[in-house]
Amino acid sequence: MPPALRKVALAIHLTASVGWIGAVVAYLALDVTVTTGQDPQLVRSAWIAMGMIAAWIIVPLAVAALLTGLIMALGTKWGLFRHWWVLISLVLTVVATVVLISEMQVISRAAAIAADRTTSTEQLLAIPSTLPHSGGGLAVLLVIQVLNVHKPQGMTRYGWRKQQEERRAVLRGKEQRIGE
């Protein structure tokens, strides 16, 4: 990938990834409000906001982070399967995105129940919280972020083999130039 395109792709990837974390933090604040709140209007408003944030911000940012992460891995020296930190980040991102998309059914249903003015206070306060998922999701996203910032050492077998092939190719090229 040319350097200018790599920089654009990296900027988009970082924006989507950090945006995803920020949106989950906002969602988490609302989730705590739903879990601990006793004011029906506050709980109702929080559920409606959670539904909107999840559908219109978190899911699109999650998909964008996953897709741009794939582009960065495939278009840079890091590769998709060469380094453990890239592979672990990919797996965690896919798992987080799949869990998020499956959890969207619960969130959408809860937001619809909260938006229905005929829902009683007891029904509203009885909607189960998504706090374990949002807290766990934030933890996973932070692990991914730390992996991507620190880039710990460790190549996969595939990565090591590719590195050895590249080194041999460079040595063969040098030997050919010397022999000419």
Q: Is residue 119 part of a domain?
A: yes
Counting beta carbons within 10 angstroms of the beta carbon of residue 15, is it exposed (0 to 12), middle (13 to 18) or buried (19 or more)?
A: middle
Q: Is residue 172 part of a domain?
A: no
Q: Is residue 162 part of a domain?
A: no
Residue type, 94: V
User: Considering the entire predicted model, what is its pTM?
Assistant: 0.85
Counting beta carbons within 10 angstroms of the beta carbon of residue 111, is it exposed (0 to 12), middle (13 to 18) or buried (19 or more)?
A: buried
Q: Is residue 179 part of a domain?
A: no
Q: Which of 21, 17, 9, 12 is nearest to 72 (CA)?
A: 9
Alpha helices in 37-83 (DSSP H): 40-53, 59-75
How far apart are alpha carbons 112 and 93 in whole angstroms?
28
Q: Is residue 160 part of a domain?
A: no
Q: What is the DSSP secondary structure assignment for residue 57, as one 8-state letter?
A: I
- The reported pLDDT for the residue numbered 179 is 66
Chunked mean pLDDT (size 10), the chain, 180 residues:
90 96 98 94 97 98 96 86 90 97 96 96 93 96 94 84 83 74
Measured between alpha carbons, how far is residue 41 from residues 49, 52, 72 in Å?
A: 12, 17, 44
Domain carrying residue 25: 3-153
- The reported pLDDT for the residue numbered 44 is 96
Q: Is residue 41 part of a domain?
A: yes
- The reported pLDDT for the residue numbered 80 is 82
Q: Is residue 176 part of a domain?
A: no
Counted domains in the chain: 1
- The reported pLDDT for the residue numbered 180 is 66
How far apart are alpha carbons 89 and 95 in whole angstroms?
10
Q: Is residue 175 part of a domain?
A: no
Other Cβ atoms less than 10 A from the Cβ of 140: the count is 16
